[in-house]
Amino acid sequence: MPDVLKPAGLPERFQAATFDRQTAIEHSEAEFLAMGHPFVDAMLAYVGSYDFGGLTAVRRIVSRPLAGRCGFLFVFVLRRPVSREDGDEYLFKFSPVFVTDDGRIDEGALTEAVRGTGEETRTAVEPLPDPTVAFRRARKHLAETAGLWDWADEAEFIALSRVEFVPG
């Protein structure tokens, strides 16, 4: 068990485990690792936390008009409560923010950073800039534009990727 997951109180190891539903049905002794299982939930909570850093990839996206722009794409989910007669529920909104290396919010590059396909690399050619300042800028921008009152209840940081736009 990775050290970061030990606070979740999980067993040190699973003797038999599977991510496949059919295998779990056929082998009742196997732990079915899916959403809702304590291990999967603890792992998702960790990789979605800022402690993890959320950095999943360095993406190089081919775009002649945006070539040379670089920054971080932060992905948040906003939660908005909705009261109904039969109880409260939440609406969720995917809220990405692209912050350039010089600290600007770049709406022009945002769509391409989210939708653009490109090569994902495991290692960067050069050391990556620290995303901490850009993260603070993205959070402030989102709080202002979405009118957030309580960050912990209304927003969740779920992912971060480094995006570099390259010419075609």
pTM beyond cutoff 0.75? no
Give the integer Cα–Cα distance in Å for 32 and 125.
Answer: 39
Give the integer Cα–Cα distance in Å for 101 and 107.
Answer: 14
Give residue-wise pLDDT tens across range 111-125: 999 988 766 555 555
Q: Where are the domains of the chain?
A: 3-45, 53-166
Q: What is the mean pLDDT of each run of 10 residues along the chain (168 residues)?
A: 77 84 89 83 70 67 92 90 79 92 94 79 64 92 88 82 88
Residue 51 burial by CB count (10 A; 0-12/13-18/19+): exposed, middle or buried? exposed
